[in-house]
Amino acid sequence: MQLKEQIQEVLAQINDLKAQNEKELEDLRIKYLSKKGIVVSLMNEFRNVSADQKRELGIALNKLKTEAQNKINQLRESMQNSNISVDADLDLTRTAYPIPLGTRHPISLVRNEIIDIFTRLGFSLADGPEVEDDLHVFTKMNFAADHPARDMQDTFFIENSPNDIAKNVILRSHTSSVQARVMEHQQPPIRVICPGRVYRNETITARAHCFFHQVEGLYVDKNVSFADLKQVLLLFAQEMFGKDTKIRLRPSYFPFTEPSAEMDISCHICGGKGCSFCKNTGWVEILGCGMVDPGVLELCGIDSKKYSGYAFGLGIERITNLKYMVKDLRLFSENDERFLDEFVSAN
Ligand code: DAH
């Protein structure tokens, strides 16, 4: 091949040169520009060029050398620039990228608030199983053998069990079962709250769900009176709903308390004047309570002549609905971020 064509071919190669890293670039430099490199060896050929071609090929060879040098320099520069741009991104003084954080569920927020109020009043936390037996949910809580709550219609039973014992295994329908668990293992003074999930065989609607949350309270000691119960519940209501909140107790019935009552608070929307929220009564119901039935104390191994106690049970969803005006219970278990994000500021 003539020198002229060789120069053109090398020129074309040089135009297309690429290097991924310093090593590749150095190899290219050696290949084209070192003493034994392609460009220099073509220049050595210049000696043999006939006189009439010297001018043309001399210019072409010089051009080739400059082009080769330029190309190598240009590759080096762009490699350095790309390193610089990585460094430029690395700004150690910058605040960290915001990491999207989850928020506490409204039920957890309210549960924690309830726990906080009662622990300040001297209550400690107690826990019991959600899969419970009939003994703790019903029998020790003084439910009659034919009480309707023991019916499949109201309570979830663990089915298809091969033995008789398991026939009595159920999903607890209230946290009162934890009262029995605590009293079995501890003598008075007892002052506990038991937050937890409960299950009932209900059709799911805006106003009822097959699972929800309760907080049970139990205080057993010498000389515990209804006045003690009332005072503690008043303090709770005022801490939860504001200092001006009033309470009202209405006689009621529960198998495990005697006497029993249901407690209302003055409507915190209208301040007791009457509005659509409280159906113009000025009051909204929030919990059940009463003096622990002496029969329950005895069934749980506590001397009812020596000790008395009070108990109460409240629904966390109910309190949350009142506090945050949530109208549909299903929102609590649908994990809809639009709903959950409403509570960001409360976290
Ligand atoms: N266990 C009751 C329920 O689920 C709530 C309750 C009422 C608990 C009165 C109590 C109580 O401890 O004294 O509806």
Report pTM. 0.72
- Cα 149 from Cα 261, distance rounded (Å): 19
What is the reported pLDDT for 98? 77
How high is the mean pLDDT of the chain? 90
Residue of 254, 291, 300, 310 with the most ligand 1 atoms within 8 Å of its CB, for mutation: 254
Q: Whose CA is nearest to atom 12 of ligand 1?
A: 312
Atom of ligand 1 nearest to the CA of 198: 4
User: From the CA of 278, how far away is ligand 1's center (Å)?
Assistant: 22
Residue bearing tokens 């009932």: 200
Name every residue whose Cβ is closer than 8 Å to that of residue 185 and which is 6 or more positions away in sequence. Answer: none
**If you compute the radius of gyration of the chain from its CA atoms, what whole number of angstroms results?**
41
What is the reported pLDDT for 160? 55
Residue 156 in this model has a pLDDT that exceeds 60: yes
What is the reported pLDDT for 27? 92
- Cα 296 from Cα 292, distance rounded (Å): 7
| Average pLDDT score over residue span 96-122 | 91
Atom of ligand 1 nearest to the CA of 216: 12
- Cα 112 from Cα 110, distance rounded (Å): 5
Q: Whose CA is nearest to atom 7 of ligand 1?
A: 288
High-pLDDT (> 90) share of the chain, %: 63
What is the reported pLDDT for 295? 97
What is the reported pLDDT for 127? 96
High-pLDDT (> 70) share of the chain, %: 95
For ligand 1, whether the C-beta of 290 sits within 6 Å is: yes
Give 33-68 pLDDT, tens digit per residue. 988 899 889 888 888 888 888 888 889 999 999 999
What letter represents residue 190's amino acid? I
- Cα 202 from Cα 209, distance rounded (Å): 6
For ligand 1, whether the C-beta of 311 sits within 6 Å is: yes
Residue 344 in this model has a pLDDT that exceeds 90: no
For ligand 1, whether the C-beta of 143 sits within 6 Å is: no
SS3 179: helix
Atom of ligand 1 nearest to the CA of 218: 12
| Average pLDDT score over residue span 9-30 | 90
User: From the CA of 333, how far away is ligand 1's center (Å)?
Assistant: 23
What is the reported pLDDT for 166? 52
Residue of 132, 171, 172, 174 with the most ligand 1 atoms within 8 Å of its CB, for mutation: 174
Residue 325: name the closest of 273, 262, 275 by CA: 275
Query: Does 121 or 99 have the greater pLDDT score?
Result: 121
For ligand 1, whether the C-beta of 219 sits within 6 Å is: no
For ligand 1, whether the C-beta of 174 sits within 6 Å is: yes
- Cα 275 from Cα 13, distance rounded (Å): 88
Residue 227 in this model has a pLDDT that exceeds 90: yes
Burial label for 138, CB within 10 Å (0-12, 13-18, 19+), is: buried
